[in-house]
Structures are given as C-alpha cells and as structure tokens.
C-alpha cells in the first residue's frame, strides 16, 4: 500500500445534520462486523446532533445497547462521571443510555486521575475487549486529536497531558464561571490508530484551517490529525464550511 492509498476518504455534506445518517451507518456496520464490538465515541459539539439520534435509536430499541461496549477518548483530570464539564458527564447528558451502560460496566470510562498504571490498565482492557472496532473523532482548531496537542509523539498510548492554551480557550464556556482545567488523560495517537475504523467529523468554518492542515500538510506532530493519513481505513465527514480551505468544496459528495 502506498502513502497515497492511506489518505482518508473525504465526504462533504451541506451541513452537519446531513452527516448523521452516515455516522449511524458506521455504527451499524461496526455492529455487523463482529459480535459485541468496542465502539469509541468522541465528545464535543460536533457530535451532539449524532448523539440526539443515536440516543433515540437506543431508547427505541432500534440499536440494542447490549450489542456493543462503549468507550471514549479522553477526560479532564479530576472529573469523575458525575462532575459537570467532564467528558463522561457530557456523553451521558447527550446520550442518557450511556448512564445505564456505565452502571452495567459496558461503558468504559477513561481513568480521570491520569495515573499512568491505570491508564496502561485501561488500554489493556480495551485490547481484551477486542480492540476498538470503530473510533469516532473530532478535531481541535489547533489540529489536535482527542487531547494530543501539537508536538505529541505519535507513538504514545493513553497518557496524561497538559492542554494547549487554545484548547482551554475553546473549553472555557463549558466550565464558566470556573477556569477550564489545565490537564487531561487522553488516548494517544497510537491508541487511536489501533482502531480498525476511524471516522473524523469537522463542521463549521472555525475548523477549516485545521482540516486543510490535516489533509494537506506533511504528516507529523505539528498537526496531530495528520496521523489519520497513516491509518488506511478512515473516513472524514465535513460540512462545506469546514471543507472550504481544502479545495474540496467545489465537488461535494452525496449528502
């Protein structure tokens, strides 16, 4: 396989809502590929329209919550599942069935104390669960994936990290009037690339420069999202605004 072959498939939609059917299709495809797959979800406003629909499918029984195990990418240090602002708290608020999955142990939270031993054990637990069949991803304005900020080695697994200033700025509203956290535990780029299927979503003009760098810049730690081009089974879903700097907007795919 050549470097070129590893470029993600990119689809451009009129708006974020139009991409939700594709995301649900990716979840269904993952459920069809193996029994009780491990599905990695992502936080951020990017996924809120998806979670509204996904939660409804789970609540109506159209997707069986016992048919998969769920996990996620990252957590602010010191944020247990019931603490507002935390990633698990967000996931459960956006998709209430995750709350009962947490109770049943089928939603696997990232250890929020960032203890290296626990993070290693978490990574091993994901492997014992069969490894990630599907990992959903957003992208930071600075090109981060999960909380892998620019400069982070691609070889790292789950680890503790300091947050970039732009990341803290973007998180300010969710913690107001408190200051946003400085540190987090995150899946490393190596953990993310170990997933068998990656689907990255970016919507809105604020993401357009990061999307261009992800797709066009040399692959390297200056833009962590370029790691996607090392994967070989990835899909990027954009709206026209997020695609605008990448020379893709003139030829939108179906959607």
By CB under 6 A, residue 131 contacts ligand GLP: no
Q: How far is the CB of 82 from ligand GLP (least distance, A)?
A: 19
Note whether 189 binds ligand GLP by CB under 6 A.
no
Q: Is 117 a catalytic residue?
A: no
Helix, strand, coil percentages (3-state) for the chain, rounded to 5, are 45, 20, 40
146 binds ligand GLP per the rule CB under 6 A:
yes
Closest listed residue to residue 110, CA positions, set 123, 98, 101: 123
Spatial separation of the C-alpha atoms in residues 71 and 114, rounded to whole Å = 16
Among 26, 65, 149, 245, the active-site one is 149
For ligand GLP, which is the closer residue by CB, 100 or 176?
Answer: 176
- Distance in angstroms between the alpha carbons of the first and the last residue of the chain: 29
140 near ligand GLP, rule: CB under 6 A: yes
Q: Judge whether 240 and 3 are in contact, CB under 8 Å.
A: no
> Quick one: which segment of 38-46, 208-216, 230-238, 243-251 binds ligand GLP (CB under 6 A)?
38-46
72 is catalytic: no
Identified binder of ligand GLP from the candidate list 6, 45, 150, 252, rule CB under 6 A: 45
Instruction: Specify the stretch interacting with ligand GLP by CB under 6 A; choose among 13-21, 98-106, 132-140, 233-241.
Output: 132-140
Q: Is 139 in the site for ligand GLP (CB under 6 A)?
A: yes
Catalytic status, residue 233: no
Nearest to 107, CA basis, from 52, 65, 77, 79 = 65
Of 26, 65, 72, 74, the catalytic one is: 74
Burial class (CB in 10 A: 0-12, 13-18, 19+), 215: buried
H or E element: which one contains 33?
helix 20-33
Bridge-based pairing state of the strands 9-13 and 132-137:
unpaired
What residues are annotated to the active site? 74, 142, 144, 149
* Residues engaged in binding ligand GLP (CB under 6 A): 42-46, 73-74, 138-140, 146-147, 167
């Amino acid at each position: 396989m050549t470097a070129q072959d590893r470029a993600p498939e990119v689809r451009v939609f009129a708006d974020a809502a139009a991409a939700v059917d594709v995301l649900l299709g990716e979840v269904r495809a993952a459920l069809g590929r193996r029994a009780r797959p491990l599905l990695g979800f992502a936080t951020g406003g990017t996924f809120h329209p998806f979670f509204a629909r996904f939660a409804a499918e789970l609540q109506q029984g159209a997707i069986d919550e016992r048919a998969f195990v769920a996990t996620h990418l990252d957590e602010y240090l010191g944020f247990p599942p019931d603490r507002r602002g935390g990633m698990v708290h967000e996931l459960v608020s956006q998709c209430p069935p995750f709350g009962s999955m947490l109770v049943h142990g089928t939603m696997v939270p990232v250890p929020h104390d960032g203890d290296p031993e626990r993070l290693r054990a978490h990574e091993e637990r994901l492997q014992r669960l069969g490894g990630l069949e599907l990992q959903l991803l957003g992208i930071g304005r600075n090109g981060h994936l999960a909380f892998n900020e620019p400069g982070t080695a691609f070889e790292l697994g789950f680890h503790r990290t300091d947050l970039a200033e732009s990341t803290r700025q973007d998180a300010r509203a969710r913690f107001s009037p408190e200051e946003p956290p400085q540190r987090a535990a995150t899946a490393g780029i190596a953990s993310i690339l170990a997933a068998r299927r990656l689907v990255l979503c970016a919507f809105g003009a604020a993401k357009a420069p990061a999307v261009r760098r992800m797709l066009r810049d040399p692959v390297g730690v200056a833009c962590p999202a370029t790691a996607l081009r090392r994967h070989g089974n990835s899909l990027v879903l954009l709206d026209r605004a997020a695609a605008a700097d990448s020379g893709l907007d003139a030829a939108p795919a179906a959607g």
